[in-house]
């Protein structure tokens, strides 16, 4: 399993595409705690929220980043925070879709997060019950076909983020 910096290096080494399926109602990310508290207080979030530099560092190189977030309304405070940041990710070039289980069927999708890099490496993400990242487990190559199907199903089922946000903001 890869954790921390080792997992982060995957975003420097993938060549074309990275897809993420997100499924948790809360992620406990140490680097986000201060920003999350600012969000809850209604404070100004800063320029990175307008154009996410982490996403931009990849899309400026011609890489494609996409994600589908499977969630359930009503949103947790953490999901409100994360979704409020998505317009800056989209401005930086990421494609984001939402599947709200309160409105849509998510049958056929896994109940866990994963990243699919260049259609050739898939990492199942592992978290504590509180949402703290434990690491990404490289899955065997025979699992690739299933995870490609999961990605394709998620993308076909998801509502574009802008449409979802317009209805739920």
pLDDT tens digits for range 90-132: 999 999 999 999 999 999 999 999 999 999 999 999 999 999 9
Distance between CA atoms of residues 84 and 31, nearest Å:
17
CATH code for the domain in which residue 53 is found: 3.30.870.10
Q: Mean pLDDT for the chain?
A: 95
Long-range contacts of 29-32 (CB under 8 A, 24+ apart): 29/133, 32/81
- Domain range for 34 is 4-168
The percentage of residues in the chain with a pLDDT greater than 70, rounded to a whole number, is 100
Q: Please state the domain count of the chain.
A: 1
* Res. 169: pLDDT tops 90: no
- Mean pLDDT, rounded, for 48-52: 90
This prediction has a pTM of: 0.95
């Amino acid at each position: 399993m890869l954790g921390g910096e080792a997992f982060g290096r995957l975003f420097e080494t993938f060549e074309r595409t990275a897809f993420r399926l997100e499924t948790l109602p809360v992620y406990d990310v140490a680097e986000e705690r201060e920003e999350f508290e600012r969000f809850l207080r209604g404070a100004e979030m800063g320029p990175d929220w307008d154009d996410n530099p982490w996403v931009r560092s990849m899309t400026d190189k011609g890489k494609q980043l996409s994600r589908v977030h499977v969630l359930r309304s009503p949103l947790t405070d953490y999901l409100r925070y994360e979704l409020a940041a998505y317009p800056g990710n989209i401005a930086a070039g990421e494609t984001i879709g939402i599947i709200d289980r309160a409105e849509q069927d998510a049958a056929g999708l896994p109940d866990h997060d994963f990243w699919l890099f260049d259609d050739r490496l898939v990492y199942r993400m592992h978290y504590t019950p509180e949402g703290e990242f434990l690491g990404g487990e490289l899955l065997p190559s025979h699992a690739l076909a299933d995870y490609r199907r999961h990605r394709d199903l998620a993308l076909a089922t998801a509502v574009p983020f802008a449409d979802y946000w317009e209805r739920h903001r």
